[in-house]
Structure 1
């Protein structure tokens, strides 16, 4: 590595910013309450590092990514695009597989075996965004060192050294933390780890669930969010007795309106799924064989089940990086608009990063594949080039269910923006429906179910532009198409598509 190149990278590392914590909690249904407050830039001492060679004969690596999920895969692609991967980049993962598109695990991966389920290497990163499939061979060809099944257990920030579970020492020049999240679990004392109880975060989890579904008769899904809805839809494909239990009043309460949720609940009920809403679980009960046999509710009732899937959320995986600086409100590792932590040379991306959500002026932590991809790309470009603009993310969520062969109706919705203000619902769900969120006359968010490619393409433009919309005119729209056209017409000339 030339002296000039080394100085360029070291200078990039030294430009880290630090800013204060304790900022506003990001919740799609909560308005912004606090402004982001940055502290002034500080001049950090340059941190040197020993140049690593392609063979990695010693512990020195110029760039190290900790974590093997989507964010790591997209970061690797960006390093390659900048010609800075070969012999310089190392990825340390707890998994046995190269990075893959994780959303498949609760969608196509769970399809019955006769309905063409998704399987690796079919959904390795970056096929989810139309990129080249990054198989293990791809990483070898690009000169990227992959360390599998050996998670990082400790970090020495002063010495810029990582220690893995096997005792391997890795010295880094720049470090990117991409550890993602771990599934929230039921405690052991209420049966959270009984045989037949499943959580889904990786391929091994999904494989274990499929083994249970092959023998199952009665499935209970705990949680009415994305995981719960997607797993329940997959269980229907297996023709299993399926029940969803959750404490809220309706499905996906953090996004769906009661009216919209009712439409989806009816669709699931038409497919044989039963709902137990507003319920609290006391414990999971085992049968005589030691496997889970039932769910016992706080009201004393029980629901028989031989397979239970827990989908009650996830927690950012911050260990062993607590010293890097955590956000006490939204969780995760605090970063600035370039994904720099308060520690020079250390970055955090994807689910684990608490970052400034620029367009809504608040701090966010977003658990979504789209953010994993974009944050990785933005971070690496900032690290390797002269890019200085702040990450400007538009919140985006979607789900796809009942997509297997033979399904009477395949469902795919997309949402962009912020679900604040009052809502206007257009359409009857058959064939499509749209929900608009209007706050102080501005269109803040929009969800469309069963839209055309052109309609889906319009949504991010509407959400980012936040045009003033004639609410009365929108309410009178006779179809989703007409409503979207009204919203399109309200766009400023430079944003119209």
Structure 2
């Protein structure tokens, strides 16, 4: 009986094993995860779950019984120590496990502040796992003083939750504006204004020089402009890096993640990769996407190919972020844009449409699901509507799909 081993029990790993069974794969399947809980959703962790609006059971992607009922061996709280590609075995806590196909869905890990800056002090936290959120929940008491380091989506979402819990929130971003690496100034301006209306102090063009501690616990911070803050805790949201240690030790090719071909194979034909940890060909370049949508779609493509489909992965990038009462939905990739078109929506909704010349690249839609859906379909179809028509609120968006 053939054996597929999947390392990493997150969104991609769970999607891969479920897809294998749904496609009729009859061999043995083992899903290995380091955390002691079944695969769960990460996006609600720092929002609905932290706010107490979502119970633990609703985080789970599937009931734990699903895995046993579908003949999937779920090994939780287990760490894979090594991969031996020549022997086609993995070592799990001293035990060897043979595989025919191995799938790496190891995800990513948050960047942390160095110990020399105070990153090892108690009260300096990251937001990535269930344990992370459970450990920090007691700190989110009204009036507590928190510093958010990083003005990307991770940092802004943490700031929104803290503000909703009536904390005293300061966010610092080294770049000249929040979201500078992922969005246009128009989107940055929208979210800056949103956070400031909700009482968050945003310091752009300002970095963290040093955290200050007392008795091993963080008590303050010195910023790059010399400002000193008194604090109760710090949330670090300065991005994530692909988890490639096992792949590197197994001598797999690495290029901004585990390097795969269009079908998800690594440099070893019996080893595959999907999700945050994997980079894949995309046009003339390579791409690594950090999103739930990509984790699911890429993992399902790998499962199909293990089952013999031999199909290439066609990425359809989409992302979202929830902050206060605003749902941001993003379609496409904005890299290389030279023009942003603003389209007003109803009741304060707005969308920003990114163009490179006359080609539509991406759409950021704030509380405008219709603009997002139409923009996504246009991008996937390779259609680029006239920017003048897009900017005119009188234009029927659906009509653009027929043009």
Name the TM tier (shorter chain): over 0.9
Are the aligned partners of 2:332 and 2:379 in contact in 1 as well (CA < 8 Å)? yes
Query: What's the counterpart of residue 279 of structure 2?
Result: 354
Find the partner of 1:160 among 88, 108, 126. Answer: 88
Aligned pair partner of 1:138 in 33, 42, 66:
66
Aligned pairs for 1:363-382 (under 5 A) are 363-382=286-305
The answer to whether the Cα contact below 8 Å between 1:285 and 1:296 also exists between their aligned partners in 2 is yes
1:208 aligns with 2:135: yes
**Paired residue for 1:447?**
364
Counterparts of 1:299 and 1:430 in 2: how far apart (Å)?
Answer: 39
Greater fraction of residues in strand: 2
Residue in 2 that maps onto 1:92: 32
Stretch of structure 1 that moved more, 345-354 or 277-286: 277-286
Bigger drift between 141-150 and 428-437 goes to 428-437
Aligned counterpart for 1:325 among listed residues 252, 270, 292: 252
Going from structure 1 to structure 2, the CA distance change for 1:445 and 1:120 (only over 3 Å counts) comes to same
Counterpart-to-counterpart distance in 2, 1:472 and 1:456: 18
Poorly superposed stretches of 4+, deviation over 4 Å: none
1:243 aligns with 2:179: no
- Distance in 2 between residues matched to 1:97 and 1:253, nearest whole Å: 35
| C-alpha deviation, 1:216, in angstroms | 6.3
One of 321, 327, 330 as aligned partner of 1:415: 330
Return the offset for 1:417: 1.4
How far 1:64 sits from its partner (Å)?
0.3
Q: Which ranges in structure 1 are unaligned for 5 or more consecutive residues?
A: 2-50, 52-61, 126-133, 403-409
CA contact (8 A) 1:426 1:483 kept: no
- CA shift for structure 1 position 168: 1.7
Which of 256, 260, 264 is matched with 2:191 structurally? 264
Under a length normalisation based on structure 1, what TM-score does the superposition of the two structures give? 0.77
Specify the SS of the correspondent of 1:381. Answer: helix
What is the alpha-carbon distance in structure 2 between the residues aligned to residue 226 and residue 282 of structure 1? 22
Aligned-pair CA distance for 1:427: 2.0
8 Å Cα contact 1:110-1:231 kept in structure 2: no
Separation (CA, whole Å) in 2 of partners of 1:215 and 1:65 = 42
Q: Deviations over 1:42-92 (max 9, x none)?
A: xxxxxxxxx5xxxxxxxxxx110001110011111102212336x601111
Aligned partner of residue 56 in structure 2, secondary structure: coil
- 1:146-180 Cα shifts (integer Å, max 9, x gaps): 1111211111111111112x212111111000000
Alpha-carbon spacing, 1:311–1:205, altered in 2? closer, same or farther (3 Å): same
Gaps of 5+ in 2: none
**1:237-272 residue CA offsets vs partner (Å, 9 max, x unmatched):** 211111111111222112332233112211111111
Aligned position for 1:462? 378
Alpha-carbon RMSD across the aligned residues, in angstroms, is: 1.9
Q: Is the 8 A contact 1:91 1:144 kept in 2?
A: yes
Aligned to 1:245, what secondary structure does the other structure show? strand
Q: Which has more radius of gyration? A: 1
8 A contact 1:221–1:244 mirrored in 2:
yes
Q: Give the SS at the match of 2:140.
A: helix
CA contact (8 A) 1:64 1:91 kept: yes
Shift of 1:186: 0.6
